[in-house]
Structure 1
Amino acid sequence: MTEAFKPIVYLKQNCPFCMKIRLFILEAGLGAEVETRDFGSGTPQEDTVRAELKDHLDKVSFPAAHIQPGQFITESDDIIAALARKSDRDPATMPIYQNYVDGPFAALMRLWKENMDLKKAAAAA
């Protein structure tokens, strides 16, 4: 008897994109169906994860997921969409996930964009 494939999600600590996936997994009740591999930046665990992923991705970045046999993806929205299809859950109906996406995550993305714009303007000056 073969065991069903269990997706693996690689989540870096303090990453807002990784937090978005973690919240989806928790609110969707997928904790038992999805394996998470958590690690901190600059740790031996990160080195292990990077080594595990390097042959499967053009560029190792996080979050990342081994979503099905032979398929690895890295974009948080793509990972959530794949997990949503698997679980038949709609992220738009999940209040905690949506609160994060529309609140803190959106604010972080605005700050990131503003920072990039300021760096670009400073480099041009």
Structure 2
Amino acid sequence: MTNTDFKPIVYLKENCPFCLKVRLFLLEAGLTPDVEVHDFAPGTEQEDLIRAELLPHLDRVSFPSAQLARGRYVSESDDIVAFLAAKAGRNPSDMPVYRNYVDGAFAMAMALWKENRELKKAASAA
């Protein structure tokens, strides 16, 4: 099997906003047949197995993660989307469902997460 025969593998954790971003891109771009998706629930044995599989290849295991080509692993949702979009000739900014999520619910969730982090930091300093 050659590198051109390699099917990218994407690891997606349930209830993860970053994983949902990748999943929405895959669905809207019509790439689900071209990508192997490994879904898992947090705290399961399957998660432990996936983490053990990824550990030798990533500085820090987080999700989503992907093996985009043989031996090329990444764990940033934007990097995963950019690679797959370029490979498929798709522009994520032209994808309304993906953009709606990224610019709407995802952006709001990240703003709230940052605000929560700052409030916890301030509370622990008090």
Q: TM-score interval w.r.t. the shorter chain?
A: over 0.9
What's 2:78 paired with? Answer: 77
How far apart, in 1, do the equivalents of 2:82 and 2:52 lie? 26
5+ residue gaps, structure 1: none
1:100 maps to a residue whose letter is Y
- Cα drift, residue 94 of structure 1: 0.2
How far apart, in 2, do the equivalents of 1:39 and 1:80 lie? 20
Tell me the alpha carbon deviations over residues 64-117 of structure 1, each in whole angstroms, 9 at most, x when there is no partner: 000011100001001100011111100000000000001110110011011001
**TM-score, normalised on structure 2?**
0.96
Aligned to 2:32, what secondary structure does the other structure show?
coil
- Cα drift, residue 124 of structure 1: 1.3
How far apart, in 2, do the equivalents of 1:6 and 1:24 lie? 17
How far apart, in 2, do the equivalents of 1:60 and 1:101 lie? 23
- How large is the Cα RMSD of the aligned pairs? 1.1
Matches within 5 A, 1:3-18: 4-18=5-19
How far apart, in 2, do the equivalents of 1:4 and 1:89 lie? 20
Alignment size in residue pairs: 125
How far apart, in 2, do the equivalents of 1:49 and 1:11 lie? 10
Aligned to 1:19, what secondary structure does the other structure show?
helix
Structure 1 stretches of 4+ moved >4 Å: none
- Cα drift, residue 9 of structure 1: 0.3
What's 1:42 paired with? Answer: 43
How far apart, in 1, do the equivalents of 2:98 and 2:59 lie? 29
- Cα drift, residue 54 of structure 1: 1.0
Identical aligned residues as a percent? 64
1:42 maps to a residue whose letter is G
Matches within 5 A, 1:1-125: 4-125=5-126
Tell me the alpha carbon deviations over residues 6-50 of structure 1, each in whole angstroms, 9 at most, x when there is no partner: 000000000000000000000000011001000000001101111
How far apart, in 1, do the equivalents of 2:17 and 2:78 lie? 12
